[in-house]
């Protein structure tokens, strides 16, 4: 391991970054250096700018991926090397924020009612009932499920934050059946062995397969269940502040987008056209 890489990893960990972020940032700087065939401390602003243009134009990476690369390079030059001018005023690509796919409550019922293993059903119900991210669900341990307080404890979530979410009574019944059958030890939802959590990609593929089997035309992912839970909570009167805490959003602005995707709220709105006299609208020209 080079001294620069070691220093970067140390600086990231000192700031409480997750191991996933550490690997992502270090990998980005490594690929940047390999692109030029030179040590990154010998490169500067023009090389960083040209690399971002390359990622955008030739690699066709999404704005979120280019922003991640810029964040990693900013951290390397500013926090590791102390060279802020190397990345000064480099623009961030604008991120498109399409509205997330949301299932109706009827569609969630169809999905959860499909034939599947008890393990997969337990995972789907956990994702939906508590609006969890896939990584949060796959890293759950049996001790995180607290039946006394009817809560689930999420450790080291996005941004390194812990939080507590509600435990559905119906989910608890299913998890008890799951426990009797699978007897999990370290990981609640283990993979091929009980020593490792289930692979997130396996969950993604199986959820997509179940959705297809019941004829759902929408693209259904684990995150779809998270979005759907948040939307349904809002439709039934939960406050944005409570939904923010449930989802673990740092900013309320992130949570506010659910006000734009609630089918029930849209259907309940009265169009200004409907306030006009009917006889005027139907009069002959």
Active site residues: 133, 158, 223, 226, 249, 258
Q: What tokens appear for 75 in the block?
A: 């951290």
Please, are residues 7 and 80 in contact by the beta-carbon 8 Å criterion? Answer: yes
* 235, burial (CB in 10 Å: exposed 0-12, middle 13-18, buried 19+): middle
197 φ, ψ to 5°?
Answer: -70, 160
| Bridge partners (DSSP) listed for residue 145 | 152
CB count, 10 Å around CB of 47? 18
**Integer angstrom CA distances of residue 71 from 5, 173, 269:** 16, 44, 41
Q: Is 236 helix (H, G, I), strand (E, B) or coil?
A: coil
Report the half-sphere exposure of 225 (CA within 13 A, side-chain side): 26
């Amino acid at each position: 391991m080079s001294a620069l890489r070691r220093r970067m990893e140390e600086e990231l960990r000192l700031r409480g970054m997750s191991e996933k972020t550490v690997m992502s940032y270090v990998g980005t700087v490594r690929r940047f250096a390999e692109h030029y065939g030179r040590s990154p401390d010998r490169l500067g602003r023009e090389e960083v700018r040209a690399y971002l243009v390359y990622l955008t134009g030739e690699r066709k990476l999404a704005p979120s991926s280019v922003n991640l690369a810029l964040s990693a390079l900013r951290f390397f030059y500013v926090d590791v090397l102390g060279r802020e001018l190397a990345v000064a005023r480099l623009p961030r690509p604008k991120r498109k924020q399409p509205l997330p796919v949301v299932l109706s409550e009827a569609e969630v019922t169809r999905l959860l009612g499909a034939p599947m293993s008890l393990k997969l059903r337990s995972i789907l119900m956990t994702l939906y009932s508590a609006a969890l991210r896939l990584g949060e669900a796959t890293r759950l341990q049996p001790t995180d499920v607290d039946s006394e307080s009817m809560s689930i404890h999420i450790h080291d979530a996005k941004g390194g934050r812990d939080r507590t979410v509600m435990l559905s009574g119906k989910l608890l019944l299913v998890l008890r059946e799951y426990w009797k059958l699978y007897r999990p030890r370290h990981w609640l939802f283990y993979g091929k062995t009980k020593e490792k959590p289930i692979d997130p990609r396996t969950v993604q593929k199986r959820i997509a397969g179940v959705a297809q089997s019941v004829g759902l035309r929408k693209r259904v992912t684990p995150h779809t269940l998270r979005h759907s839970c948040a939307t349904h909570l809002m439709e039934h009167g939960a406050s944005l502040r409570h939904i923010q805490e449930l989802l673990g959003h740092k900013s309320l602005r992130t949570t506010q987008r659910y006000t734009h995707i609630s089918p029930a709220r849209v259907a309940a709105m009265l169009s200004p056209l409907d306030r006009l006299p009917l006889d005027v609208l139907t009069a002959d020209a």
